[in-house]
Amino acid sequence: SELKPASDDIQVPAPWKVGKCIKEYCNFANPTMGDGLVLISTPANVDILNSFSPLIKSNSQSPPFEVREIPGKGIGLFANRTIQRGEIVMQYTPTLIVQFGPHIDLPSSDRESFYQDAVTHLPSPRRDAFMAQFGKDIFTKIDRNAFRMFINGQNPYSGHLGAFPEVARMNHDCRPNLNSRIENITHSSIAVRTIAVGEELTISYIDGLLPRQARQERLQDWGFECTCSLCSASAEEVEASDKRIQDIKDLEEEMDKAVGGGDLTTEMGERLVKLYREEGLETYIGHAYTKAALIYAMFGVEEKAKEYATLAADAMAMELGEEAGDVVAMRQLAERPEEHWAWEIRKPRSEEENEQVKKEQEARESVKDEL
Ligand SMILES: C[S@@+](CC[C@H](N)C(=O)[O-])C[C@H]1O[C@@H](n2cnc3c(N)ncnc32)[C@H](O)[C@@H]1O
C-alpha cells in the first residue's frame, strides 16, 4: 500500500478538501469546523462529522489556568483562580482525528508520510499547536496525547483517536480534580471538586479504581512512571489507599449479592460513599451515590433515596452529561421515587403483613402435606 492522490469518486461537500489517500483511508480537511481540523478516515465518517455542526465552540479566552513547567513532568496546567465544582474548565474541538484502523494497521513508514500530509492541510495556528505536543514524531504525538472517541455511537468503524493539543497539556493524576467527556466531537473538562489557585489541573488517563501496582502497570503503556501525589506518597499511605480500594471492591460485591436476596442494609450504601470520599474518588463517586440511593429506595426511605439520587445525578452529569440514561434515571428517582422499579421492593413488612405471609405459607404447606 502506498500514498496516492484521492480518486475522482471521492467527493466531499465544500469546504471539505481531500488530501492524500492510502487503502480506504483519506485525509479530509475542514478549516471551518471547530478551529479547523483534519480527519483521517473513510468518507462515510465525513458525513457523520457534518451532521454534528454547529459544534460547541472552544473557549480559549481568559481561561482559569496557565501553563507552567514542572521538573520531571514537562509542562502542566495550573489554576489561576479558584475553580468551583461542576465548572467547565475548558472545552475544545479536535485538531486531528484518526480512525483506529490506519493508526494501528498501517506500516510505520507509510503511516508517518500519510500523517505528514494530513497536518499540511491544517490552518497554521492549529498545525503549530498540534506539533507543539510532546512526542518525537506525529505517530507518537497522537499515541501519547490523543483521546479515544466514537463518532457514531459505539459502532466499531467509528472508533477514532482525537488530538486536542490544549487538553493534552494536562498531566495524569490517580486522584484527578477534573473529569473529561466528549460530546459529538467536543471535549469538555469539568471540575469534580473545588480547585484552589495554584493547584495543578489533572485528569486520569486510566481506571483509577485499582491498587498502585496495577495503576503503574497500566501507565507503563503510556510510557511513564507515575509520580502523582498518591503514587509518591509514603508506604503507609499507599498501603491504606490500596486497602480502601480492596474494601470498596469487596463491599460492592457483597452488595450485588445481597440485592439478589441476601442481607442488604442501608448502612452498606453509607459505608460505600464514605470509602469513596476517604479515597478521594470524586471522579467516580456518582456510582457510590447511585448504589446508596437505590438501597434507600428499596427500603422505602424516601428522604434519603431522594437526597442520594440528586447527589448521584449531579455527580454523573459532570461525567456523562444531563442526557445520559443513568443521570435521567436518578433525576426520576429523586422526583418520583414511588414510580422507580426499586421502590419498596425490600421494605420491611408490618406485624400484620408478616402474619398474613405466614398464614399463606402454612396454607401452602398443608396443601403439600395433603398431596
Ligand atoms: C499528555 S502528555 C501531558 C503533558 C506533558 N507534561 C507535556 O509536557 O506535554 C503525557 C506525558 O506527560 C508526562 N506525565 C503525565 N502525567 C504524569 C505523571 N502523573 N507522572 C509523571 N509523568 C507524567 C509523561 O511524560 C507523559 O507521557
Residue minimizing CA distance to atom 11 of ligand 1: 171
The verdict on 190 and 284 lying in the same domain is no
Alpha-carbon distance of 145 to 140, in angstroms, equals 8
By most ligand atoms within 8 Å of CB, the mutation choice from 200, 224, 226 for ligand 1 is 224
Cα 216 to ligand 1 centroid, rounded to whole Å: 14
3-state helix, strand, coil in the chain (%, to 5): 45, 20, 35
Cα 193 to ligand 1 centroid, rounded to whole Å: 22
The predicted pLDDT at position 358 comes to 74
C-alpha angle 67/68/74, rounded to 5°? 110
The predicted pLDDT at position 60 comes to 65
Q: Which of 203, 223, 252 is the last residue of a domain?
A: 203
By most ligand atoms within 8 Å of CB, the mutation choice from 69, 92, 161, 171 for ligand 1 is 171
Cell numbers linked to 175: 486522584
Residue minimizing CA distance to atom 24 of ligand 1: 224
Does the residue 156 lie in any domain?
yes
Q: Name residues contacting ligand 1 (CB within 6 A).
A: 73-76, 134, 144-145, 168-169, 171-173, 222-224, 226-228
Residue ranges making up the domain that contains 96:
4-203
The predicted pLDDT at position 43 comes to 93
CA 202 to ligand 1: nearest atom: 16
The verdict on 32 and 116 lying in the same domain is yes
Q: Are 37 and 94 a contacting pair, CB within 8 Å?
A: yes
The verdict on 172 and 32 lying in the same domain is yes
Cell numbers linked to 309: 439520587
Residue minimizing CA distance to atom 15 of ligand 1: 171
Cα 68 to ligand 1 centroid, rounded to whole Å: 13
Does the residue 114 lie in any domain?
yes
The predicted pLDDT at position 361 comes to 72
ipTM score of complex: 0.99
The verdict on 51 and 182 lying in the same domain is yes
Q: Comparing C-alpha atoms, which of 238, 230, 235 is closest to residue 204?
A: 230
The verdict on 189 and 68 lying in the same domain is yes
The predicted pLDDT at position 126 comes to 96
What residue spans of the chain are helical by DSSP H?
Answer: 43-52, 100-105, 108-120, 124-131, 138-145, 212-220, 235-259, 266-278, 285-298, 302-320, 325-335, 351-370
The predicted pLDDT at position 253 comes to 96
Q: Which of 203, 220, 246 is the last residue of a domain?
A: 203
Residue minimizing CA distance to atom 26 of ligand 1: 224
Supply the CATH number for residue 24's domain.
2.170.270.10
Residue 137, SS3 per DSSP: coil
Does the residue 257 lie in any domain?
yes
The predicted pLDDT at position 320 comes to 86
The verdict on 56 and 117 lying in the same domain is yes
Q: Are 122 and 96 a contacting pair, CB within 8 Å?
A: yes
Does the residue 139 lie in any domain?
yes
Cα 173 to ligand 1 centroid, rounded to whole Å: 10
The verdict on 131 and 189 lying in the same domain is yes
The verdict on 26 and 145 lying in the same domain is yes
Does the residue 38 lie in any domain?
yes
The verdict on 163 and 253 lying in the same domain is no
C-alpha angle 114/117/121, rounded to 5°? 140
Residue minimizing CA distance to atom 13 of ligand 1: 73
Alpha-carbon distance of 28 to 157, in angstroms, equals 17
CA 228 to ligand 1: nearest atom: 19
Distance spanning both ends of the chain, measured CA to CA: 78
Cα 65 to ligand 1 centroid, rounded to whole Å: 17
The verdict on 134 and 251 lying in the same domain is no
User: At 58, which amino acid appears?
Assistant: S
Residue minimizing CA distance to atom 21 of ligand 1: 226
Does the residue 45 lie in any domain?
yes
The verdict on 48 and 104 lying in the same domain is yes
Task: Count the domains in the chain.
Answer: 2
Cα 128 to ligand 1 centroid, rounded to whole Å: 19
The predicted pLDDT at position 72 comes to 86
The verdict on 162 and 290 lying in the same domain is no
Does the residue 67 lie in any domain?
yes
State the angle between helix axes of 302-320 and 285-298 in degrees (0 to 180), rounded to the nearest 10: 150
pLDDT, one tens digit for every residue, the chain (371 residues):
689 999 988 999 999 999 999 999 999 999 999 999 999 999 999 999 998 877 776 776 789 999 999 998 999 999 999 999 999 999 999 999 999 999 999 999 999 999 999 999 999 999 999 999 999 999 999 999 999 999 987 787 899 999 999 999 999 999 999 999 998 899 999 999 999 999 999 999 999 999 999 999 999 988 899 999 999 999 999 999 999 999 999 999 999 999 888 899 999 999 999 999 999 999 999 999 999 999 999 999 999 999 999 999 999 998 888 899 999 999 999 999 999 999 999 887 777 777 776 787 788 777 777 76
Does the residue 356 lie in any domain?
no
C-alpha angle 225/276/202, rounded to 5°? 40
